[in-house]
Amino acid sequence: MESLRIALMGGGTVGSALAELLPLHRARFEALGLGVELARVLVRDTRKSRPGIPSRLLTDNPEGFLDDVDVLVEVAGGTTVAADLVLQALEEGLLVVTANKALLAERWDELRPYAEEGSLYYEASVMAGTPILGALQSLWGNQTLEMHGIVNGTCSYLIRRMEEGATYDEAFQEASNLGYLEADPNLDVGGIDSAHKITVLGRLTVDPDLRWDKVLSRTRGIQHLTPQMLQQARAEGYAIKLVASLFPEKGEWVAAVRPVRLPESHPLVTMGSGRNALVYRGDPVGQLVFAGAGAGGGVTASAVLGDLYRALLGTPGHLPIPAAVPVPTQEVEQLQEV
């Protein structure tokens, strides 16, 4: 039986969950004629206890980390050390599975050739275990008209708590205590995390050249929202949500992130309560709605594991759309920004 050796970068919530899932799938891997082995795990602190990961596998030294392995799984995040190792692995011909939306958004020029050849798998980078990338790839036969999504659970939590009467600072502290915030909280509350994700989706569906700097220039966060604003909107039959959108504007595709007012009957309000949701509209398929868990160690690890199965079965990774699709001539109705 062939043995497949995995180098795992990141031993936090997602990495530990993946390490615990792998033994549960041993029989399935063996049915494919493969013995899957976790070879080593790169972390910042080797002294920290990590559920499911034997301490003997831990290292804090990236030198030699990719020696004698077949697949790199990267769930550490960031655009520096993670990017260097991902690019090294791809250059060496290894398959790479990543959940790193920031890396995909900001260092796309370097990664794109490998994505186009199918060596890069990244389902977990957007909406975690909800398989939105695979679903959107299956819609290439349609003319995309627009898409709108709630793709950051932390902002959804903060907005809900302010609707319930908490101040922004109180809600922010609660989210911090619960471990919901990124190490740099502005990635959440400033809309950057959502911007990373809509950039990934845009390159997958409408334009492989969608520029990160342009998306960033159309990104606003939720720091200016107040309980009064949110409660007034509800009193008028609306909900304020941080929405990441892709739509045509003046003959080009635009990606934007900003708080908007949505009718309480809108799918992003009814289905996006407490989870991620995305509304896609295309021709001829019409409107489709996707919703599910968009965060969590086990949920995200399940998508990483799904990508690992794809790689082992010889299925290519997530291919960006080959060329920009035509921009629809009809204008779409703009959401009301707050």
Catalytic (active-site) positions: 197
Amino acid code (one letter) for 193: D
Tokens of 43: 């972390």
What does residue 237 show for φ and ψ, rounded to 5 degrees? Answer: 90, 20
